Homo-oligomer: A and B are copies of this chain.
């Protein structure tokens, strides 16, 4: 295919995409908020244009400046109550944060720490006195804070944190201590330079009795910016990326705070030293507190997906300008995007970005729903657990996708992609840790599996994998499966499309573009993996295995089942979106992307489908051929599909594109 026949706009068979309408569809309910953030990012882009050339100190100061400028436009306070100057709209605040993913990710992380983690903890774990004391100031960045949870020796296992907050009843104060270096707070954003306050997670000790992990507001710097008495702060130093964020380490040595510093929505210590909580079970209490922080995960997932879009926009545009090697017929070199391999590198990732966009839209809407109705706490609990699992899965999938996509785009732009002056370099470096923070992806996928295998309402007895193994071992496999809605979807689909009757090897590609077929494949895989992993765990325990050993042997299987689940719900969200659209070119374009996404998912795991007799050899090969064919159809509309993301030109830093034209 030469550039002449394949070029956008010159192919009479190309879908005539309506870019503004597609952008409106992607922007959805919060288009206005997204545009406000786009404008802010574009306006302040020049402040950070030379970020990679600055000293770490200057870069941090500039990032703070941008965050403060953004705070002036109210975008950063959208999720807070109106009485403190907030927007009282959680969905809007998520949309704003997601859109920050188009810009420098140091800004997005800095804002996430200040408003999402620090502000969110005070809002969700605190009560009115804390709100009155801090919210108005922190929304406006007059008060800067950090979120001191992670410790050097305790990353994902928050229940094992070792920092202590012991109540001194005589003084009516908590005394905060770091018992050893493994308990120092580590990687804490906003701590090395800017935060005056921290929400500190520590083991609460009252009357000599440990009450588990709780959060307190602690002043860590005095008015002059020096560490407060008893507080030691160290800079984590340079990082692979995100150097505009000041990560630090904190040690506490007998630091005293008032009794009212305890964020006491779920538990209280009375003046006379009694520990009081409405939630009796300590595990349940812990996970209820942690659950309020789910918004952070939703935001991280959303901004990662948007960062992937930026990379794709750059790589597609580059490949539509860059020519490589001669086409003797035409006398010019071929456009990179006309190479089949280049299409294979980029287009399935483009399709997946659309899929994840719609899955993210759904999890954000769920979160808005659940958290806007906080009064009804009892009834909403199951919805919350389900939300947590969905948020964990979308975060893991979205951040992994972003890492992979940005890396692929970097490589697809060759050496030019390696320079810091081009956004891909910084993006690659910045995105890297997204798979780790706000919950390591492996741990999050275990959380998803646990939710599926144990049913959400039983999730509080013992969160770890061993509890899950014991629970599954005590339950019938059928019971496990009835709880997932994979089964009911399968049954519904089987009524519509009877398996095995449709596909013969004479027509191996029949029905591949049928969304019900695609969804059935992913749902069948999910159900099969869940039931087989449940059986395997049961068998392991029945055979006298230790839970830890049984889990370790099956861990890849457990995570595989979670992955199958998340891929199914992502595809479902995409299909629902396509089916809700009116006929027209944009529906056709989204249907094309949805098909490409679905078939790429099946192709990526065709080994599994073949092993389990769900694909014939001929059909498996037909899927690969169909993916190539769909890529060819995406080619002439690739530019429109990335234009619809609505990424301001200022944020693409087009130096990469400057000399790639012919």
Contacts and interface: CB of A to CB of B under 8 A. Distances in A.
A548 B1 contact: yes
Interface string A604-630: 011100111100010011000000100
B53 A237 contact: yes
A620 B611 contact: yes
A572 to B, nearest CB: 24
Nearest to A552: B340
Interface stretch (A92-100, A111-119, A147-155, A268-276): A147-155
A546 interface: yes
Contacts of A327: 466, 548
Contacts of A410: 240, 432
Given A237-B419, A617-B610, A659 B555 contact: no
A129 interface: no
B239 A420 contact: yes
A483 to B, nearest CB: 24
B156 A237 contact: no
A286 to B, nearest CB: 14
Which of A414, A546, A606, A662 has the most chain B CB atoms closer than 10 A to its own CB?
A414
Contacts of A232: none
Contacts of A554: 340
A545 to B, nearest CB: 10
Contact of A465 (B1, B325, B418, B555): B325
Contacts of A240: 410, 418-420, 425, 428-429
A650 interface: no
Interface string A410-422: 1100111111110
A339 B555 contact: yes
A334 interface: yes
A617 B606 contact: no
B617 A613 contact: yes
A237 B428 contact: no
A7 to B, nearest CB: 14
A343 to B, nearest CB: 9
A435 to B, nearest CB: 6
A155 B414 contact: yes
Nearest to A5: B549
Given A2-B549, A340-B554, A341-B442, A659 B414 contact: no
Interface string A394-422: 00000000010001001100111111110
A236 interface: yes
Nearest to A345: B442
A155 B182 CA distance: 48
Given A240-B429, A329-B546, A153 B659 contact: yes
Given A1-B552, A341-B442, A418-B433, A464 B325 contact: yes
A369 interface: no
A613 B152 CA distance: 50
A180 to B, nearest CB: 9
A548 B325 CA distance: 10
Interface in A328-375: 328-329, 333-334, 338-341, 344
A263 B358 CA distance: 59
Contacts of A465: 325
Given A415-B187, A419-B237, A611-B620, A339 B153 contact: no
A283 interface: no
A552 B236 CA distance: 48
Contacts of A466: 326-328
A230 B183 CA distance: 61
Contact of A236 (B239, B338, B419, B553): B419
A261 interface: no
B324 A157 contact: yes
Given A157-B325, A548-B2, A239 B333 contact: no
A660 interface: yes
Given A160-B333, A340-B553, A556-B341, A237 B415 contact: no
A160 B428 contact: no
A441 B549 CA distance: 41
Contacts of A559: 341
Contact of A555 (B187, B326, B340, B607): B340
A436 interface: yes
A2 to B, nearest CB: 6
B659 A182 contact: yes
A440 to B, nearest CB: 6
Interface in A53-90: 53, 55
Interface in A577-609: 603, 605-607
Contacts of A548: 1-2, 327, 329, 334
Given A324-B157, A620-B610, A150 B415 contact: yes
Given A339-B552, A610-B620, A418 B442 contact: no
A509 to B, nearest CB: 14
Which of A238, A407, A415, A442 has the most chain B CB atoms closer than 10 A to its own CB?
A415
The 6 closest A-B pairs by CB, nearest first: A607-B607, A610-B610, A606-B607, A238-B420, A340-B555, A152-B659
11 contacts: A53-B237, A160-B333, A239-B420, A239-B425, A240-B429, A329-B546, A340-B556, A414-B436, A418-B432, A605-B607, A610-B620
Given A184-B659, A238-B419, 13 more contacts: A152-B659, A157-B333, A181-B658, A181-B659, A187-B418, A240-B418, A327-B548, A334-B548, A338-B552, A339-B555, A418-B432, A607-B607, A610-B620
